[in-house]
């Protein structure tokens, strides 16, 4: 045999011994001491007959054998080092690698005896058979389902394609209420260890009574003044995570968190109040009124005055989206690496008056830096500043009130509803014909209210 053929076969993990092919592999270091030979002692290399003298067939069989052996070794490591859940999951993969779906031994015994016999023979007929392989194929590894915390983490992974356009900050904000719901539930229901930390409980151990106990806990808090919406959000997040995980994992478990919601009647939706035009002119734009804010925070706020832009539409815009040399200076509102609210949010926003001046200063500083993708941090700072400096028209006014001011100002200036929707990035429910006036028309409308 030529040296070329030998090296190629070694690369494929096969050798030819007296005309017959064998699969050969050195045991990876991470499995050292776990893989045993026929004498029960650890081995460093395995060899298995492929029962063929055809190289092409040997290559195919070797790939199957390697997949089975690697699954077996992973199961060995899980059984030796990891949790009961990891052992169970590894056993399922090992059984599948051997060509059998994992079935509990009780199910196999109650089923077709020929199937059970075939499984037993498959285990005993192969070289280097391990206890892990026998347990997996014969279904003797106890079923262990994940804890609620593990389900949450797997749910995040299972739904990752829903959030491909979210920034790191957006994804963090999306996860926070779900993390909080799981924590709240475990704080109320789970048993605690010696350090008073809730002990994770497998989801098949979570009962409807546990969920109702959690609801009672929330009920007491609602009676003491907390909003029912907070409770209902917890219930909704837990229920949705449960349904998604059990569906995608094909686990048949009733959802204990379904139909827990508190019914809320007679609730009036609160809307952020708009600033009045007089307040904007005499208070917010008074000389020195915003002087205590850092330059970037102040200019972001001023950019909202004549545009009604959402803060994130400014903070997340890269420098190239400040198009100030155009005959109609404007800000391009695009995704910019984040998930925008809705498709109609994308638009070009003409800049006028103090908003244009603020945009020029931002460009001179080479764009947004301190608050890039940190609109929440900006809002917290500005809201605190407005409160501490007597710049809130009422206790309910916040920085976002500027957006509602612009909407009201455009309405007072008799700008039609289609144009207002285009400027503010709202959904327009009538048929969408043409470009809605585009940049020039939008600028003319905004010039009616510009300060």
Task: Return the H-helix or E-strand segment holding 424.
Answer: helix 417-424
Q: CATH no. for residue 333?
A: 1.10.443.10
Tokens, residue 127 = 């070289």
The residue among 144 and 392 whose pLDDT is bigger is: 392
* Contact indicator for 185, 215 with CB cutoff of 8 Å: no
Average pLDDT, the chain: 83
pTM for the whole structure: 0.55
157 in the same domain as 134: no
| Residue ending a domain, choose from 138, 172, 206 | 138
Helix, strand and coil percent figures for the chain, each rounded to 5? 55, 5, 40
Q: What is the DSSP letter of 262?
A: P
Residues 350-393 pLDDT 10s: 999 999 999 999 999 999 999 988 888 999 999 999 999 999 99
349 in the same domain as 211: no
For the ranges 117-126, 128-137, 439-448, the maximum mean pLDDT occurs at 439-448
Asked whether residue 143 is assigned to any structural domain, the reply reads no
pLDDT at 433 over 50: no
Asked whether residue 109 is assigned to any structural domain, the reply reads yes
417 in the same domain as 283: yes
Asked whether residue 53 is assigned to any structural domain, the reply reads yes
Mean pLDDT for 316-336 is: 89
313 in the same domain as 233: no
Sorting pLDDT into bands at 50, 70 and 90, what band is 4? very low
390 in the same domain as 340: yes
404 in the same domain as 287: yes
* Contact indicator for 186, 149 with CB cutoff of 8 Å: yes
The percentage of residues in the chain with a pLDDT greater than 90, rounded to a whole number, is 39
Strands laid side by side in the 14-17 sheet: 14-17, 20-26, 45-49
The percentage of residues in the chain with a pLDDT greater than 70, rounded to a whole number, is 86
Please tell me the predicted confidence (pLDDT) of residue 186: 93
Task: Give the phi and the psi of residue 427 in degrees, each rounded to 5.
Answer: -70, 135
pLDDT at 84 over 70: no
Whole-number Å distance between alpha carbons of 239 and 39: 52
Whole-number Å distance between alpha carbons of 234 and 182: 8
Residues 167-203 pLDDT 10s: 788 888 899 999 999 999 999 998 887 778 888 788 8
Whole-number Å distance between alpha carbons of 158 and 152: 10
437 in the same domain as 289: yes
* Contact indicator for 374, 173 with CB cutoff of 8 Å: no
| Residue ending a domain, choose from 120, 138, 156 | 138
Task: Return the H-helix or E-strand segment holding 48.
Answer: strand 45-49
281 in the same domain as 201: no
Asked whether residue 265 is assigned to any structural domain, the reply reads no
115 in the same domain as 22: yes
Asked whether residue 267 is assigned to any structural domain, the reply reads no
* Contact indicator for 422, 436 with CB cutoff of 8 Å: yes
163 in the same domain as 110: no
Residues 44-82 pLDDT 10s: 888 888 888 888 888 888 887 887 777 767 666 655 544
Please tell me the predicted confidence (pLDDT) of residue 245: 93
pLDDT at 243 over 90: yes
157 in the same domain as 132: no
Mean pLDDT for 153-178 is: 87
Asked whether residue 268 is assigned to any structural domain, the reply reads no
Whole-number Å distance between alpha carbons of 295 and 293: 6
Asked whether residue 329 is assigned to any structural domain, the reply reads yes
Residues 288-315 pLDDT 10s: 999 999 999 999 999 999 998 999 899 9
Tokens, residue 263 = 């019914």
Residues facing 147 on adjacent strands: 202
Boundaries of domain holding 185: 148-248
Mean pLDDT for 26-47 is: 79
Contact partners, residue 250, CB within 8 Å, separation at least 6:
none
Sorting pLDDT into bands at 50, 70 and 90, what band is 162? confident
For the ranges 68-72, 222-226, 342-346, 362-366, the maximum mean pLDDT occurs at 362-366
| Residue ending a domain, choose from 94, 115, 138 | 138
Asked whether residue 307 is assigned to any structural domain, the reply reads yes
124 in the same domain as 155: no
Q: What's the domain count of the chain?
A: 3
Please tell me the predicted confidence (pLDDT) of residue 292: 93
Other beta carbons within 10 angstroms of residue 224's beta carbon come to 7
Sorting pLDDT into bands at 50, 70 and 90, what band is 329? very high
């Amino acid at each position: 045999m030529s040296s070329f053929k030998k090296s190629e076969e070694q690369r494929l993990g096969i050798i030819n011994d007296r005309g017959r092919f064998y699969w050969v592999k050195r045991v990876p270091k991470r499995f050292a001491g776990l893989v045993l030979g026929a004498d029960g002692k650890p081995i460093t290399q395995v060899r298995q007959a492929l029962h063929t003298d055809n190289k092409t067939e040997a290559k195919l069989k070797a790939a199957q054998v390697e997949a089975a052996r690697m699954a077996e070794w992973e199961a060995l490591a899980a059984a030796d080092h990891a949790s009961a859940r990891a052992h169970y999951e590894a056993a399922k993969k090992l059984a599948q690698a051997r060509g059998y779906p994992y079935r509990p031994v009780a199910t196999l015994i109650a089923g077709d005896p020929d199937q059970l016999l075939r499984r037993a023979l498959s285990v005993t007929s192969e070289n280097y058979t391990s206890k892990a392989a026998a347990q997996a194929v014969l279904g003797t590894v106890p079923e262990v389902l994940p804890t609620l915390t593990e389900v949450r983490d797997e749910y995040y992974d299972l739904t990752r394609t829903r959030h491909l356009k979210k920034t790191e900050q957006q994804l963090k904000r999306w996860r926070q209420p779900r993390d909080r719901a799981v924590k709240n539930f475990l704080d109320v229901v789970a048993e605690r260890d010696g350090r008073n930390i809730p002990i994770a409980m497998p989801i098949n151990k979570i009962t409807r009574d546990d969920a109702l106990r959690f609801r009672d806990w929330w009920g007491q808090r609602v009676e003491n003044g907390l909003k029912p919406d907070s409770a209902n959000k917890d219930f909704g997040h837990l229920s949705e995570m449960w349904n998604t995980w059990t569906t995608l994992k094909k686990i048949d478990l009733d959802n204990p968190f379904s139909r827990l919601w508190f019914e809320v009647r007679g609730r009036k939706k609160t809307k952020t109040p708009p600033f009045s035009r007089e307040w904007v002119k005499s208070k917010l734009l008074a000389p020195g009124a915003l002087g205590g804010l850092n330059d970037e925070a102040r200019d972001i706020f001023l950019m909202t005055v004549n545009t009604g832009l959402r803060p994130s539409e400014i903070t997340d815009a890269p420098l190239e989206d400040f198009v100030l040399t155009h005959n109609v200076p404007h800000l391009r509102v695009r995704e910019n690496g984040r998930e925008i609210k809705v498709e109609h949010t994308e638009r070009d926003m003409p800049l006028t008056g103090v908003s244009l001046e603020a945009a020029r200063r931002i460009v001179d500083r080479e764009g947004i830096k301190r608050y890039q993708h940190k609109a929440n941090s900006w809002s917290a700072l500005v809201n605190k500043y407005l409160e501490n400096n007597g710049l809130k028209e009422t206790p309910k006014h916040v920085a976002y009130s500027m957006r509602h001011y612009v909407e009201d100002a455009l309405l007072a200036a008799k700008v039609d509803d289609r144009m207002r929707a285009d400027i503010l990035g709202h959904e327009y429910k009538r048929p969408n014909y043409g470009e809605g006036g585009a940049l020039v028309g939008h600028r003319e409308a905004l010039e009616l209210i510009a300060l």
